[in-house]
Amino acid sequence: MLHRYRALVEVWHTRKDVTDVWMVRKAFRLAADAHKDMRRRSGEPYIFHPLEVATIAAGEIGLGRTSIICALLHDVVEDTEYRLSDIEAMFGEQIARIIDGLTKIDDLVGETDIKSMQAENFRKVLLTLSYDVRVILVKLADRLHNMRTLDSMPPNKQLKIASETSYLYAPLANRLGLYAVKSELEDLSMKYIEPAVYQSIHRKMNDSREDREIRVNSFVSPVINALKKMDVKFRVLNRDKTAHSIWQRMKEKEIPFEEVYDTFVVRFVIDCPIELEKIECWRVYATITQFYRPNNDRLRDWISLPKANGYESLHATVMSNSGKWIEVQIRTEKMEEIAEKGYAAYWKYKDKPYSESGLDEWLSKVREILNTEEVSAIDFIDNFKLNLFSDEISVFTPKGKMISLPIGSTALDFAYNIHSSLGNSCIGANVNHKLVPLNYPLKSGDQVEIITSKVQQPKEEWFDFVVTARAKSGLKEGIRELRKTYKELGREKLEGWFKQLNIEPSKQNILHLIEIEEISGIVDLYFFAAIDRINLTKVRLAFKEKPGSGILRYLTNPFSRSKTKEEEHIPAEKKDSFFRPKVIDQQMDEMNYTVSTCCNPIPGDEVVALFFPNEPLHIHRTNCPKAQNLMSQYGNNIVKAKWRQKEDISFLAGIKMTGIDSVGFVHRLTQIISIDIGLNIRTMQLESSGGVVELVITVYVQNAQQLKDLIASLRKIKEIRKVSRLDRLGENETIN
């Protein structure tokens, strides 16, 4: 324990004075006493955790005394008898306030609250972020240490923590400029969400390490000699890309590992005065391009225009003498520190002449979302992620005022950004003097003029394409007001239909119709009746059959079975056994299940089951975006699942291919699939243009390994350039 405390003091020593040391020691002693009888799941004394969090905060993020104290004490109020008032009395209001933001909400009751407790806790952290960003910085240090020690947790907890880390914390670290933290969080999340792919990439990176070192040494040698002659002070770093970033590139380009050229990056870090930064970086770039031909399409100048998170660097891709592209990054020591430690390092330079205001602008957007109308914790997190983690575009009003919006924003988002009444009455827009529809996606530089009509009304389908929190909030309020107007009309129409069908308009029958139509309540029911979304035919069908008939459910999904009364809720005494790993279709006596169509899992895929009261278990692939979203928000509902060892059922899987069109190509392709491998082809879609052919084939397979073997065989066909697995959402996954 003392060894770890000394390690903390060592990484922090350059920024301490006597008073600071005394306060940190006081916090350490309090934490050690509070946690003295506690141990982590790994068996280690619990005090090791706050010490490691404080060391990360000081050494890897670059925080000072206040943050170190908060890191040491962040679990004291939550896990021991100490109260916030005790912390405030000993360390002051500011530290107590930060620790309050770091303390989880654990006194919520009720089914809905329990389901969204993770989202509630994250919202609490974000609410404190608007007045002190150190809350989230300490929280990120806490999350990083938890991810580093996740091996000791059970599988369902690993998936829960890894998913919310990937979905929420890694993007937040990136938005705050903490690139090193963000990269490690992404990589560690992938280790548990996609373990097979993670291990495969790490193995291939280790196998090719010697080759990379030879390439790097050969590449940098002439550049180093030239820069030394120019008296440039610099150092060269060779950084391997993370497994996560390599995997993202493989999926984006639909290529195997062997075709990813940028598995590493060569970085030149220059030591020069701040006022000479731009000149020196471009001098180094000019020197490098004297030896190697640059790819101008891959040049990125984030020195002239830094990223919103403060990131500054010059990126280039050049052709080496070995005939392979190499990514080069050029930056100064100041830029390097900001790139690794984000705004925690940026504050050191805030009074310098080239400081940026990106953090202040971002925090103002945080406050804007925090000040919007009350929404559920789940919606709050979705809005926050969508609006603050995404890149931005800059568009202009007719008078030239610049407005920043998330990438993917539409003309309607622009209208709501100006004012909710403008959005609710919008019928179209002129973008660059061209008439476009409401769902037209905007791009940077567009000039937008909104067209309105007094008879226009907000519509439910607008939710399908608006992306900003302001647009969703304004649209929701507009529809709420509209529903109040339609309430009486809908009630009259509904009563007329009930009378016509000889159905008693009782509360029980009203609730039955609401349940059948899957709507939220009676106000929505009247509204949908008023606008004919619910009509006489739907009412007749709703009461035609008794509820609970299982035949339609079976025909829709043969993998699920009708629930019994005993399956409606899980008894408390069975919860422990329920959350153990489930063998799909073999140990499903507690609940029925359904295989999700969004990711189309097949035997051999890493899968997870999500449980919700009164619903079947939902089986997803662990790398399914929808599943990761759900796991990040409903972590307590995760059940680790696995497939039966032997399965006779065939599953439908999709494959997408791109290749060179030639005579007999399709014949050879079908022969390999049907005759050589012995798989049944269900469908084949082919499109050929300019000598390039694109195919989408669906085949029946029994497991993921059979699909991998098929893809490996298809890659051996000389005409084929790309092969990837295709799921139901149209998102491709390259299989190695």
Predicted pLDDT of residue 143? 94
**709 carries an active-site annotation:** no
Q: For residues 583 and 591, what is the distance between their CA atoms, to the nearest angstrom?
A: 12
Predicted pLDDT of residue 732? 40
State the pTM of this model. 0.66
Tell me how far apart the terminal alpha carbons of the chain are, to the nearest angstrom: 44
Assigned CATH class of 651-733: alpha beta
> Which pair of structure tokens corresponds to residue 607?
């899968």
Predicted pLDDT of residue 525? 84
Predicted pLDDT of residue 72? 94
> In this structure, are residues 681 and 670 in contact, taking their beta carbons and an 8 Å threshold?
yes
Predicted pLDDT of residue 581? 47
DSSP-derived secondary structure letter, 442: P
Q: For residues 69 and 51, what is the distance between their CA atoms, to the nearest angstrom?
A: 10
DSSP-derived secondary structure letter, 273: -
Can you list the residues of the chain whose pLDDT is less than 50?
A: 106-115, 351-357, 373, 546-581, 586-591, 729-736
Measured CA distances, 619 to 17, 401, 607, 734 (Å): 55, 48, 7, 21
**H-assigned helices in 501-643:** 507-517, 522-530, 536-542, 551-556, 575-578, 625-633
| Pairing mode, strands 638-642 and 582-583 | parallel
The active-site residue, picked from 20, 79, 240, 647, is 79
Architecture of domain 2-188: Orthogonal Bundle (1.10)
Tokens 């007719």, located at residue: 398
Amino acid type, 392:
E
Q: Please report which helix (H) or strand (E) contains residue 315, including its range.
A: strand 314-319
CATH number for region 202-349 = 3.30.460.10
For residue range 501-555, list pLDDT tens digits in order: 888 888 888 888 887 887 777 877 888 888 788 888 888 888 875 443 333 333 2
Predicted pLDDT of residue 703? 86
> In this structure, are residues 162 and 191 in contact, taking their beta carbons and an 8 Å threshold?
yes
> Which pair of structure tokens corresponds to residue 647?
């399965």
Q: For residues 138 and 141, what is the distance between their CA atoms, to the nearest angstrom?
A: 5
DSSP-derived secondary structure letter, 683: E
Q: For residues 602 and 556, what is the distance between their CA atoms, to the nearest angstrom?
A: 18
Q: For residues 310 and 355, what is the distance between their CA atoms, to the nearest angstrom?
A: 9
Tokens 């399965």, located at residue: 647
Q: For residues 194 and 191, what is the distance between their CA atoms, to the nearest angstrom?
A: 6
The active-site residue, picked from 33, 44, 78, 676, is 78
Q: Considering Cα of 121, then 126, then 132, then 138, what sign does the dihedral take?
A: positive
Domain ranges within the chain, ordered by starting residue: 2-188, 202-349, 477-542, 551-642, 651-733
CB atoms < 10 A from the CB of 178, how many?
30
Q: For residues 220 and 208, what is the distance between their CA atoms, to the nearest angstrom?
A: 19
Q: For residues 528 and 522, what is the distance between their CA atoms, to the nearest angstrom?
A: 10
CB atoms < 10 A from the CB of 22, how many?
11
Q: For residues 615 and 605, what is the distance between their CA atoms, to the nearest angstrom?
A: 23
**79 carries an active-site annotation:** yes
